[in-house]
Chain A
Amino acid sequence: AQTVTQSQPEMSVQEAETVTLSCTYDTSENNYYLFWYKQPPSRQMILVIRQEAYKQQNATENRFSVNFQKAAKSFSLKISDSQLGDTAMYFCAFMKPRGGRGATNKLIFGTGTLLAVQP
């Protein structure tokens, strides 16, 4: 069974600085997707970024980028130029996409990292 581990329950960063959130996962699969979701105090779950395991290039979305190390099963999220609006719980998630044996499309989440951006 796949598992996702986020070892940092809480983190803090100053506005305009850069912060990296860690995520590791365990799987025997070769084809899978990884995601970072953001949950601000409003409770809404917002997709931040996704990475397909077969792609070597790290995904980037504006100020958000990932460092995907497939062999190490590591998927960290870097937030550059942190803004007050980035304050939220961040969840790393794993998915075996539908189409293969045993694939169900369900997201397996880590326990989350609460990020506070300080003014």
Chain B
Amino acid sequence: DTAVSQTPKYLVTQMGNDKSIKCEQNLGHDTMYWYKQDSKKFLKIMFSYNNKELIINETVPNRFSPKSPDKAHLNLHINSLELGDSAVYFCASSQGLRNEQYFGPGTRLTVT
């Protein structure tokens, strides 16, 4: 049983393209997140949605746009991809008072 899943796991694309990463959780959680892990393994929050409402929007270029069609899904769309967007993107989810965040397997994005 996959708790938090992401598709695709690997994504190789050229500069200037537009791509999306999908995330789904079957834990019944009310909050979902996107984190970016750079080449030095540093993890940083990008976005968070609570009950489909955006509650965290860190300093992220406008080319990144999250979309939450329902509480179980949070997608990340990236326009005009740049070399610096190459990273591993993690989706995570949590439920209210318990606060632990459970992570998906990550999507390794490589922009060439």
In the bound complex, do residue B48 and residue A106 qualify as a contact, i.e. CB atoms below 8 Å apart? Answer: yes
Q: In the complex, given contacts A44-B106, A106-B45, A107-B101, what are 17 additional A-B residue pairs having Cβ atoms less than 8 angstroms apart?
A: A44-B103, A45-B90, A47-B100, A47-B102, A50-B99, A50-B100, A89-B41, A91-B43, A104-B48, A104-B56, A105-B31, A105-B55, A105-B56, A106-B48, A107-B35, A107-B43, A111-B40
- Find out whether the CB atom of B103 lies under 8 angstroms from the CB atom of A98: no
B42 partner, pick from A47, A50, A107, A109, beta carbons under 8 A: A109
CB neighbours (8 Å) of A112 from chain B are: 41-42
For chain A, which range describes its interface: under 10, 10 to 19, 20 to 34, or 35 or more residues? Answer: 20 to 34
Given known pairs A91-B43, A112-B41, the reply for A97 and B99 (CB within 8 Å) is yes
A109 x B44 contact (CB < 8 A): yes
A-contacting residues, B55-96, CB 8 Å: 55-56, 58, 88, 90, 92, 94, 96
Total number of B residues with any Cβ neighbor in A under 8 Å:
27
Q: Which residue of A lies closest to B90 (CB)?
A: A45
Question: Which B residues touch A13, using CB under 8 A?
Answer: none
CB distance from B53 to the nearest CB of A (A): 12
Partner of B105, one of A43, A105, A109, A111: A43
